[in-house]
Copies of this chain bind each other. A is one copy, B any other.
Amino acid sequence: MPTIVQKFGGTSVADPARIMRCAQRVMDARRQGHRVAVVVSAMGHTTDELIDLASKVSASPSPREMDMLMATGEQVSVALMAMALHSLGCDAVSLTGGQAGIDTDSAHRKARITAIDHARLERVLGAGAVPVVCGFQGVSPAGDVTTLGRGGSDTTAVALAAALDVGADGGACEIFTDVDGVYTADPRLVPNAAKLRSISYEEMLELASMGAAVMHPRAVLFGEKFGVPIHVRHSQKPDAGTLIVPEEHAMEDIVVVGCALKPDLGRVSLKGLPRADGIEAQIFEAIAAANVSVDDIVQTEFGDAATIAFTVEHGDIAEVKSICQDLVGRLGRGEIDLEVGLAKVSAVGTGMKSHSGVASRMFRALADAGIRIHNITTSEIKISCIVDRQHGEPGLQAVHAAFGLGDLGAGAPPRAAGTKARG
């Protein structure tokens, strides 16, 4: 009997009526002959309310106590979900992260899962009941409540799916969210963007890191590591979404599966820096300490001077400039050059590994659209071009069209058992 882990996010369980609808989704999967385990997030705005309460008793609450506080959000959700399932005549047992056997390290607010003891989960499933597990949380070696930080509930779901080895019997981890699935591009920017039937973990990671906020990269990485098929689907619609699967299962004949746009970037160039060891570390440690995310980095050397250039979100430019001025002052050499009003268009696909001419097709598409390329960076499965900001959207559309992505929607049916009956 295939096992499905269904994860419902905060919006999907925001009120009792929506919880009842999610419970119906669980019943549907059981009727189709699946064993089902459920992972839920905290209801809607609970998290914000708890953070607000904490701010009224402490300016800088301790991470341990924040975890104790925040974990109540998911605990409310699991109890209500179990009750909702009972109302529908389904046996169900709510479990905290600790009760579900999710062991973590002691890094409160950003704990990492170290092991999952799935004995109790198996007991509940074996008794024909649905375990309903708190997402986002676990228990430390000291027995304290921990939370997993960003992407935590998705990670819980994928980790439980791995522990239950859902891939082995044709099951999957279903991530219910407020989007239909993963698209070839943002449909708000590219009207004929198509929903992908499947995508590889690697491709999903490249798209996620470029701003396609469907799933947190951490959960995708977990899925990749343990080979868990992940099905991203809409919580209020019955249609199949997008399957995230190992590369060999993905559509290998398709070179590019998606395009993405980062619309508003700035570029910082540090020129004439001394060629000292560790200078790169000094720069990027200082920027990381200010919690600024750095995009692509390019370094070049001329004689005894180095140039380091990198892109950041437009809103971070002022802070980064000030950090770099301090640094150049300390080094006693170098100058700072800023460019603003930039955007980045990227194309992603594992097919690039085996197909040549992908980069040239992308450059041709941009050139034909009259778009000048400022800078190019590539990875094994991604090509990114920096363009002027006003060329961002037309560039995205041009690249999307050049790779025929608008036609991708009519591909092969999804391949995991968990979605077959809804295909």
Interface of A with B (CB < 8 Å)?
Answer: 16-17, 19-20, 23, 50, 53-54, 56-59, 61-62, 64-66, 68-69, 71-72, 75-76, 78-80, 82-84, 86-87, 93-94, 96, 99, 143-145
Contacts and interface: CB of A to CB of B under 8 A. Distances in A.
Given A65-B94, A72-B76, A87 B57 contact: yes
A72 B80 CA distance: 12
A19 B61 CA distance: 14
A87 B59 contact: yes
Nearest to A82: B65
Contacts of A143: 99
Contacts of A54: 79-80, 83
Most B-side CB within 10 Å, residue of A16, A50, A68, A75:
A68
Contact of A62 (B17, B50, B83): B83
A16 B56 contact: yes
Given A83-B65, A143-B99, A16 B57 contact: yes
B86 A80 contact: no
A260 to B, nearest CB: 39
A19 B94 CA distance: 30
A57 B94 contact: no
B99 A86 contact: no
Decide if the interface of chain A is mainly helix, strand, loop or mixed.
helix
Contacts of A56: 16-17
B59 A76 contact: no
A50 B83 CA distance: 13
6 contacts: A16-B57, A58-B83, A58-B87, A61-B86, A62-B83, A68-B75
Given A53-B16, A99-B143, A143-B99, A71 B75 contact: yes
B80 A69 contact: yes
Copies in the complex: 2
A79 B94 contact: no
Contacts of A53: 16, 76, 80
Contacts of A76: 50, 53, 69, 72
Shortest Cβ-Cβ A-B pairs, 6 listed: A16-B56, A69-B79, A72-B72, A58-B83, A68-B79, A57-B84
A108 B104 CA distance: 28
Contacts of A58: 83-84, 86-87
A219 to B, nearest CB: 25
Contacts of A20: 57
Contacts of A87: 57-59
Given A57-B83, A65-B94, A86-B61, A75 B72 contact: yes
Nearest to A145: B96
Contacts of A64: 93-94
A117 B69 CA distance: 24
Contacts of A80: 53-54, 57, 69
A14 to B, nearest CB: 12
Q: Which of A20, A66, A84 has the most CB of B within 10 A?
A: A84
Max chain B C-beta neighbours (<10 A), residue from A16, A58, A61, A78: A58
Given A53-B16, A53-B76, A82 B62 contact: yes
Given A72-B72, A75-B68, A75-B71, A83 B99 contact: no
A65 B95 CA distance: 10
Contacts of A82: 62, 65, 68
Contact of A79 (B17, B66, B79): B66
Nearest to A81: B57
A357 B59 CA distance: 64
